[in-house]
Structures are given as C-alpha cells and as structure tokens.
Amino acid sequence: MRHDFRELKLERVTRSFAAAGGHAFNALDELTMTIRRGEFVALLGPSGCGKSTALNCIAGLLALSGGAISLDEQRIDTLPPEKRGFGMVFQNYALFPHMTVERNVGFGLRMRGMSAAEIAPRVARALSLVQLSGQAGKLPGQLSGGQQQRVAIARAIVIEPPLVLMDEPLSNLDAKLRIETRAEIRRIHGELGRATIYVTHDQDEALSLADRIVVMKDGVVQQIDSPQRIYAQPANLHVAHFMGYRNVLEFEVTAVNAERVELSGGAVRIVGTLCQPLDGRRAVVAIRPEEIVVGTRDGGANSVRGSVTGVEYGGRDSLIEVLLDGGLRLLARSDVPAERGDAITLSIPPERALVYPA
C-alpha cells in the first residue's frame, strides 16, 4: 500500500450489529468524510458512540454493512487489514512480553519478509523518532507505561504506513504521563507527515492534538470541525454539553433579533446568541462555567444575583455553585475566594450564552 497518498475517503460508512430479538442497530451510521495526507483527525465521544467502530472499519478489523472506503479513489474496504498497510496503536499496547523492544518494533517488517539487514536501520530510525534508542535491548516489562506506549507507536510507524490509527492510546497512563505522551504523539505526527486518526473520549486530548474533530453520538456524526469551532461554536446541544457547557438551562423566548435572543425564566432575564433555528417559544441556553464573570457590578443586561451554595477548590480557581434569586442554579469558575452563603453577582457575556431549541 502506498504511503504517499493524497486522501482517504469514507462514503456513508455503516456498521450494523444484531441486537436482542433479532433486530439490528447501527453502531456506525453513514459516516462520510475525507481525511487528507498530513492531517490529524480525532474521533471524539462517550463510550458506545461509534468512534472505535469507525476506526476498526477503517483498519479492516470490522466489515462494512454499507458504504465504501477509498484511498486515492481505490476501494480498500474489501481488502484484509494486512493489505491496507495501516499502522495501529492499541489501548493496551499489545506488545509481545517475551520479545525485546527491538524485536517488537521489527515484528511487522519480519512478517513482510524483509531481511535483518533491511530491518535494523528502519527499527533504529523508529526508536530514535520515539526517543527510545537506548532501550532497544530491554523487554516491555522493564519499561514504564509511557515507554511501552512509545514502543507501540514505533511498531506502528516502522512499516511506513499511509495512515496511523490510534485507539485511546493514553487511557492507561496516569495524568502526568498522558500530557507528556500527548506532546510526543503530536511531535511524531508532525515529523512523519502522514495522516493520523485518533480515538478518544477526552476533550482535552482532542482539542490539543487534532486539526479536525469528529464528535459522535449513538453512531451518528454530530459535528466535524476545527478544535476552535468545536469548542466555541458547538453545532447542537449534545456537542455543547459534551464539550463542557455544564450550565444547561431552559427559558421562555421573549424576542429574537437576528442572532441575539432575549430569554426569561422566573426572575432571570438574559440575552444569548442563537446557534440553531428555534422551533417554539422555549429554548435552552448552554454556558461554560469559565465564561461567567464573577463579581461584576450589577446592572448589565446579563447580570444576575444569587448566593453561593457550594465551592469546589481547584487550586488556581474554584468551581462555585450559585443559587439565583429566581431559583435557577449556575456553576461558575472564580479565582476570588468564596464561601457558602456569600451574596454574589454574576455576568454572562451574550456571545457566550449559546441558545438551542428546547
């Protein structure tokens, strides 16, 4: 399989499974997108959303129920995994415990019938790329979790694949190692110049690594966009909720003026930004806790008052729960010390109060 490809195209890719009672359900429902050489794409969503199913369909580990996968206009969905030539990095590393690092990395090349003289320099280059040149003679059990993951990455890239597929590769690492290995993955991707498809349920991983993010729910794509737009302009309420908009409140719509929407709920009146056409007189507002300004002088259009009912200390700031005068509750982040019972004023920027159909 060529590694100098231009694009991988998925057209209405579907994968069905049999459910109880003989009925079928789509774990992946008509995924359509194009991935270009050099691009880093993250498949993001909660467990069971279809992201790993999509990855396994691309890898050839699952047959399609419908649709097609093409590499530069050549259909590959009928090819077995070994004929596609993609590199795969698994969640559990899948290293051979009885083989040295060097032999683990060279395994795929040996399976391709390459000679020892051909294998040695390619393994050395791969280990150098993942910064493990001094570990070639060790067994996997002698390495840290982060080092084992880098061995798995070296094994995937040593075959010079057109595409590297990663299935939640950092989920077994502790927080510090996840951040370090995340940076290594992005560096390696940049040096390789190939495409990477990366499955994760972690929003921070997706935002920091990807050129584009595919947010999924129940096998259906909800949004495909840049990290910046996924973060700031979620396409629907599901994407907003998954991307950290923890304040989700339902209001009565009192007026709509272009992109601005005036809303009312009890004693609270706010102005928000329309993100989807409304289909009734009620709407839902999604707001991130960190977008709420704490302690702003009262009197603004989106200024609300309440009392602090809970504080979660987080180091540089705290997550505070505020019971508003009208009975609604808001979560806000504040670097100003607060205690339960404190009276407080909050201000919500209209452009960060995102309005969706109820």
In the chain, how long is the greatest CA-to-CA distance? Answer: 77
Distance, CA of 235 to CA of 245 (rounded, Å): 13
Q: In the prediction, which pLDDT does 2 show?
A: 47
pLDDT tens for residues 345-358? 999 999 999 999 98
pLDDT tens for residues 107-158? 988 988 889 999 999 999 899 988 888 899 999 999 988 888 889 999 998 9
Q: What's the pTM?
A: 0.88
Q: In the prediction, which pLDDT does 337 show?
A: 86
Q: Decide the pairing of beta strands 195-200 and 163-167.
A: parallel
pLDDT, mean over the chain: 90
Q: In the prediction, which pLDDT does 1 show?
A: 44
321: tokens are 């729960």
Q: How many CB atoms lie within 10 A of CB 341?
A: 8
SS (H, E, C) the chain: CCCCCCEEEEEEEEEEEECHHHCEEEEEEEEEEEEECCCEEEEECCCCCCHHHHHHHHHCCCCCCEEEEEECCEECCCCCHHHHCCEEECCCCCCCCCCCHHHHHCHHHHHCCCCHHHHHHHHHHHHHHCCCHHHCCCCHHHCCHHHHHHHHHHHHHCCCCCEEEEECCCCCCCHHHHHHHHHHHHHHHHHHCCEEEEEECCHHHHHHHCCEEEEEECCEEEEEECHHHHHHCCCCHHHHHHCCCCEEEEEEEEEEECCEEEEEECCEEEEEEECCCCCCCEEEEEECHHHCEECCCCCCCCEEEEEEEEEEECCCCEEEEEEECCCCEEEEEECCCCCCCCEEEEECCHHHCEEEEC
Mean pLDDT per 10-residue section of the chain, whose length is 358 residues? 76 89 85 95 94 95 95 93 89 87 91 90 90 90 88 89 91 84 89 92 94 96 97 95 93 90 87 90 94 72 89 91 89 90 91 93
Q: In the prediction, which pLDDT does 296 show?
A: 59
